Structure 1
Amino acid sequence: MIDTWESRGTRLEAGELEELGRMVNDQPMRRGRKSAWRGSLRGRGKAGWRPPRVVQIREGSPCGGMVQEGDLLLEIDGRRPRDILDVMRWGDGSSLRLRLQRGERVLVAEVRKEEGRPLGLVFDEPVFDGVIGCRNRCLFCFVDQMPPGLRPSLYLKDDDYRLSFWYGNFITLNNLDAAEVRRILSLRLSPLYVSLHATDPGLRSRLMGKGAERGLRVLRMLLDAGLEVHLQVVCCPGLNDGLALRRTFEDVLRAYRAASLGVVPVGLTRLAAERAPGLRPHHAGTASAVLELVEEYQGKALGLLGRRLFHASDEFYLLAEREFPPAEDYEGFPQLENGVGMARKFLEEAAALAPAAGYPRGSASREREGEGSGAAIGVKGVGILTGEAGEKVVRKALSGAGVEGVETVTAKNGLFGGTVTVTSLLGGGDILRTLRDRAPSSRDLLIPETLLREGRFLDDLTLEDIFRQTGYRLRPVRVEGAALLAALLSDRLEGG
């Protein structure tokens, strides 16, 4: 049975990027968040194309009264959309035929609207033909080093330019065929986030496997077309550091002038010896060498381009026991979700909120200088649970904001082990072991919200599991210095 409706409406104003984000679970785009949609990541080889499900119809939608929540979108004007990009492009016209499935029925909605007005439909996933999977064989692949028993979606290796555009996922460009490259260029999709690792074709192939040289050619095409591209180098001691890293920096300055380049240390789990043999972790000496090279080429880039271009991740500064650069050196924090500048931003946010809590302004500069002044703020009854790397940053933030008496509980990562110290990769089991082995004085502990997805930790434990087995209430907060300080001082702030 085929039903037909007609509807007319008025124009809605919305930016294209914001609209794309709101077509997936009605959420604005958030860089670096693979879990920004409700559905699970699904590889292309597993199920092929799957019609997107309408999960919400936004107020004022020209499809109101015709499309219902739960409908499956089969076609737009006789064409089957691959992803949200197709829906937005094909749905831009003034007269559309939407072919839908509602239960066992197939329906056709005739939509009349002003050209350029969004459809106002929110879908369950951003891609309908499955995520483009990674076919690389990277020596340092973190997914290959992950322990068994985690959420299935964590083991899917994506190399999808659409997820790079929407969420800031890093891709290699090695797996793109000519049609996908043409699509990127024709739609002028940017910014894109690309894993470079090395500009020496032979070394890049050694690091990543077959197709790595082609990825360099595609990168040049994107940059020559004027697209905004951000690069990363996963730095492996003895492989692509030292002279190899210097060559990469030189080539980027000369031929691959991207928007930014972030250098991050290779991550090695407890399974690295078996699954990533031959790789070594960074230590204070190698971290210092990387920082010196980054600073050298920041100076060159400033003289040549008027911007620093090259940045090192926070982990290098922690390993080398060096202060984080000032906020202005990060030039807008273009790789924040990659761990580049997150610590400095966190410290600045905490210090900026301090005056609202009664602590004198200017604490951020004192923190950098190792000084402190003003009346300290005492906090009792709530603590902070963090990972090994996060502990140092949290303590700096509290000190810089003049907050005293906060208990900091540090959990070691047993789930991944190895050199993994970042807080966001803690499992619920790591937290259970930590709280069982000691007796913190605070029964309420703040944790970063990034530890959870839909209320579950990486190992599928829940907040309720932690509370039931330990008696501790974990309270997720945003990974922002201001959010942390506000949560700690909520009673004081509310009381004026």
Structure 2
Amino acid sequence: MVKESSINSDLRDKELRVSMQEPTGVLIQAVEHGSIAHEVGIEVGDRLLAINDRLIQDVLDYRYVVTLFERAMVLRVTKTSGELWEIDIEKDEQEDLGIELEGIQTRLCKNNCIFCFVHQLPRGKQVRRSLRVKDEDFRLSFLFGHYLTLTNLSESDFQRIFEQRLSPLFVSVHATEPELRQYLLQNRKPDDLLENIRRLIGGGIKLHTQIVLMPDINDGIHLERSIADLLQFYPDVLSVSIVPVGLTDHRKGLTSLKTVDADYAQRTIEHISPIQQRNLDNYGSPFCFLGDEFYILAQHSIPPRSHYGDFPLVENGVGMVRTFLDEFAVAISKKWKPQKLSVRGTVVTGRIFYPTLKGCLDQINSKFNVDLRCLPTENLYFGRGITVAGLLTGSDIFTAVKNQLYGDFLVVPSESMTGEQGLFLDDWVKSDLETRLRIPVFAGGYHVAEFFKLIFSPGILHQEAFPNFSGAPATPGL
């Protein structure tokens, strides 16, 4: 499996639409009133087939082609009536046509990776539809940073990637040794990973790569081999993320895998640190980066900001904690206006981030007139092995706080929700929590500045600001 990290998760879900049958052209789902498209008679429900005889397969094609022909173009459109229109358009440079196309019809993954998260979803429970999608799509890799294995690229895919300069792409490697990689992916069709990488970078494409680390399977000398094989392509291969395998409680009938624990995390840090230092000395970059979970599990200090460069891997859990800590240090040093009314509330997070967040909240409490309680939330939905905040569900948060809720409001991880309604992975929405807990719920996360603005905005966090929550304030859970 995300590359523009600023693209929010509700857009990401919108793009993740699955179709087993490729339609003709791309559906036009919105037309701006008064736009060029509106004036020439294009309507919602029409299908865009081509621009200047270049077939349009998806929204990414469209964005690319309109940059090639900025002033004059001929649109081929199938009307809802079935008529085929050819429309001549002349426009100013940078002037938008005023159409919105349907999201990308996601290509599905044909691998059966032994650690695949989709295979570990709870059976018989509600789960966000996009979480069930096994995507293997170079377009989503470019747009959102989704990782792909390169096992389904056709010749036309390679040519499109080169022509449209879809760079960087994010590649799931896991192992560079062919037999081991084939075992991990459980794909009967052999693939030549290193040759595919060589071809992509030969076409001017930069790559970020990933290894999901599994104890006693692709670690040790196998990990060293993978890093060395990828290092030969530096700086065209920009990085290797090494992240711990995520295991839920729903693995019946699947390959037996070991959990990454504190001892293993410490040994991994000790193994990789000298390699990082050697790469730093020789190439000016550590090249291989450990996921934050390794450092937190081992109770090891988080590397400094300089370790992560321009933080391209935050969405993969690499450098997220360092970003949070640095932003927090800046935010807490500012002169925030003291609150006239006391601010009391509960802030929930996953178990892995709890020590970090609690330490920060303790500093806020001691410096300002606030009382914020940090509550670690057990992931009952997926299992105790899943400790990140982004995979917390609404039902898990409710179970955790219903008897321990403190103060006048609740702050939940923003990364656990998507969309305007605040949809959780189990189809709960933010208002479900508010209704059951009779308390306002706010989204917070690793965007520290927004969190501080929430805490110090006059009156926002007090019960009198919420007439719909007229019940008694939450009882302290201590």
Q: Does 2:215 correspond to 1:270?
A: no
Whether the 8 Å CA contact 2:416–2:424 is kept in 1: the answer is: yes
**Could you tell me which residue of structure 2 aligns to residue 145 of structure 1?**
120
Q: Distance in 2 between matches of 1:268 and 1:135?
A: 21
Cα offset, 1:283, TM superposition: 1.0
In 2 relative to 1, CA 358–133 (structure 1 residues): closer, same or farther, beyond 3 Å? same
Q: Distance in 2 between matches of 1:166 and 1:195?
A: 16
Whether the 8 Å CA contact 2:339–2:456 is kept in 1: the answer is: no
Q: Does 2:48 correspond to 1:74?
A: yes
Whether the 8 Å CA contact 2:28–2:99 is kept in 1: the answer is: no
In 2 relative to 1, CA 284–30 (structure 1 residues): closer, same or farther, beyond 3 Å? closer
SS class of match (1:491): coil
Q: Distance in 2 between matches of 1:171 and 1:189?
A: 14
Whether the 8 Å CA contact 1:34–1:167 is kept in 2: the answer is: no
Cα offset, 1:458, TM superposition: 0.8
Q: Does 2:449 correspond to 1:482?
A: yes
Q: Distance in 2 between matches of 1:219 and 1:31?
A: 27
In 2 relative to 1, CA 303–183 (structure 1 residues): closer, same or farther, beyond 3 Å? same
Q: Distance in 2 between matches of 1:492 and 1:331?
A: 39
**Could you tell me which residue of structure 1 aligns to residue 152 of structure 2?**
175
Cα offset, 1:387, TM superposition: 1.4
SS class of match (2:443): strand
Letter in 2 for 1:41: L
Q: Does 2:263 correspond to 1:290?
A: no
**Could you tell me which residue of structure 2 aligns to residue 86 of structure 1?**
61
Q: Choose from 340, 347, 350 the match for 1:387.
A: 350
SS class of match (2:247): coil
Cα offset, 1:277, TM superposition: 2.7
Q: Choose from 412, 415, 419 the match for 1:450.
A: 415
**Could you tell me which residue of structure 2 aligns to residue 461 of structure 1?**
428
Cα offset, 1:342, TM superposition: 0.4
Q: Does 2:207 correspond to 1:229?
A: yes
**Could you tell me which residue of structure 2 aligns to residue 412 of structure 1?**
378
Whether the 8 Å CA contact 1:268–1:420 is kept in 2: the answer is: yes
**Could you tell me which residue of structure 2 aligns to residue 247 of structure 1?**
225
Whether the 8 Å CA contact 2:379–2:392 is kept in 1: the answer is: yes
SS class of match (1:332): coil
Q: Distance in 2 between matches of 1:177 and 1:234?
A: 25
How many residue pairs match? The answer is 446
Letter in 1 for 2:457: S
Q: What is the CA deviation profile of residues 410-450 of structure 1, one whole-angstrom value per residue up to 9, with x for unaligned ones?
A: 221111114101011111111121122x1322231112222
SS class of match (2:191): helix
Q: Does 2:86 correspond to 1:135?
A: no
Q: Does 2:166 correspond to 1:162?
A: no
Cα offset, 1:338, TM superposition: 0.2
Aligned-CA RMSD value = 2.9
Q: Distance in 1 between matches of 2:363 and 2:102?
A: 42
**Could you tell me which residue of structure 2 aligns to residue 363 of structure 1?**
none
In 2 relative to 1, CA 74–68 (structure 1 residues): closer, same or farther, beyond 3 Å? closer
Whether the 8 Å CA contact 2:349–2:376 is kept in 1: the answer is: yes
Cα offset, 1:266, TM superposition: 0.1
Question: Which runs of 5 or more structure 1 residues have no equivalent in the other structure?
Answer: 1-27, 360-374
Q: Distance in 2 between matches of 1:439 and 1:144?
A: 33
Alignment of 1:325-344 (within 5 A): 325-344=303-322
Q: Distance in 1 between matches of 2:41 and 2:444?
A: 36
Q: Distance in 2 between matches of 1:393 and 1:377?
A: 28
**Could you tell me which residue of structure 2 aligns to residue 370 of structure 1?**
none
Alignment of 1:201-212 (within 5 A): 201-210=178-187, 211=189
Whether the 8 Å CA contact 1:57–1:68 is kept in 2: the answer is: no
Q: Distance in 2 between matches of 1:187 and 1:392?
A: 44
Whether the 8 Å CA contact 1:231–1:262 is kept in 2: the answer is: yes
Q: What is the CA deviation profile of residues 117-140 of structure 1, one whole-angstrom value per residue up to 9, with x for unaligned ones?
A: 553433331x2xx21111112110
SS class of match (2:346): strand
Q: Distance in 1 between matches of 2:94 and 2:26?
A: 23
* Identical amino acids, percent of aligned pairs: 29
> What's the TM-score once normalised by structure 1's chain length?
0.82
Q: Does 2:405 correspond to 1:430?
A: no
In 2 relative to 1, CA 384–152 (structure 1 residues): closer, same or farther, beyond 3 Å? same
Cα offset, 1:229, TM superposition: 0.6
In 2 relative to 1, CA 178–161 (structure 1 residues): closer, same or farther, beyond 3 Å? same
SS class of match (1:410): strand
**Could you tell me which residue of structure 2 aligns to residue 11 of structure 1?**
none
Q: What is the CA deviation profile of residues 398-420 of structure 1, one whole-angstrom value per residue up to 9, with x for unaligned ones?
A: 34565663111222111111410
Cα offset, 1:308, TM superposition: 1.6
Q: What is the CA deviation profile of residues 231-265 of structure 1, one whole-angstrom value per residue up to 9, with x for unaligned ones?
A: 11100001011111111122222246511111100
> What's the TM-score once normalised by structure 2's chain length?
0.85
Whether the 8 Å CA contact 1:223–1:256 is kept in 2: the answer is: no
Between stretches 288-297 and 248-257, larger displacement belongs to 248-257
**Could you tell me which residue of structure 1 aligns to residue 240 of structure 2?**
261
Whether the 8 Å CA contact 1:284–1:320 is kept in 2: the answer is: yes
Whether the 8 Å CA contact 2:128–2:424 is kept in 1: the answer is: no
Cα offset, 1:346, TM superposition: 0.7
Q: Distance in 1 between matches of 2:411 and 2:152?
A: 41
Q: Distance in 2 between matches of 1:479 and 1:433?
A: 23
Question: Which runs of 5 or more structure 2 residues have no equivalent in the other structure?
Answer: 462-478
Q: Distance in 2 between matches of 1:245 and 1:457?
A: 35
Whether the 8 Å CA contact 2:25–2:56 is kept in 1: the answer is: no
**Could you tell me which residue of structure 2 aligns to residue 440 of structure 1?**
405
